[in-house]
């Protein structure tokens, strides 16, 4: 399975964060959660390759479970 890359691909990190913040503006909590879920699906479709999406899923999940220990 693919490894999540160490390289930094985001060239404008502050622009990205601001865009994500703005995307939640004037949404209820429930709408924000739906927005996040839809965004994940849309980005996964952009990535396309399931192996790479799985690498990201594993990275996200393992970072949560590591904190539970």
Q: How far apart are CA 35 and CA 30, in angstroms?
A: 9
Should residue 20 be labelled a site residue for other proteins when binding is judged by CB under 8 A? Answer: yes
Task: Quickly tell me which residue has 């990535």 as its tokens.
Answer: 47
- Tokens describing residue 11: 């060239």
Task: Quickly tell me which residue has 């990275």 as its tokens.
Answer: 59
Of the candidate residues 2, 3, 18, 51, the single one contacting other proteins (CB under 8 A): 18
Binding to other proteins (CB under 8 A) within 38-57 occurs at none
Contacting residues toward other proteins, per CB under 8 A: 4, 6-10, 13-14, 16-18, 20-21, 24, 27, 29, 32-33, 35-36, 59, 63, 67
């Amino acid at each position: 399975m693919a490894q999540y890359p160490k390289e930094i691909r985001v060239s404008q990190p502050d622009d990205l964060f601001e865009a994500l913040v703005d995307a939640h503006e004037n949404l209820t909590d429930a709408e924000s959660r739906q927005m996040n879920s839809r965004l994940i699906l849309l980005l996964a479709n952009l990535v396309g390759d399931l192996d790479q999406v799985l690498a990201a899923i594993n990275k996200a999940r393992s970072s949560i479970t590591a904190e539970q220990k």
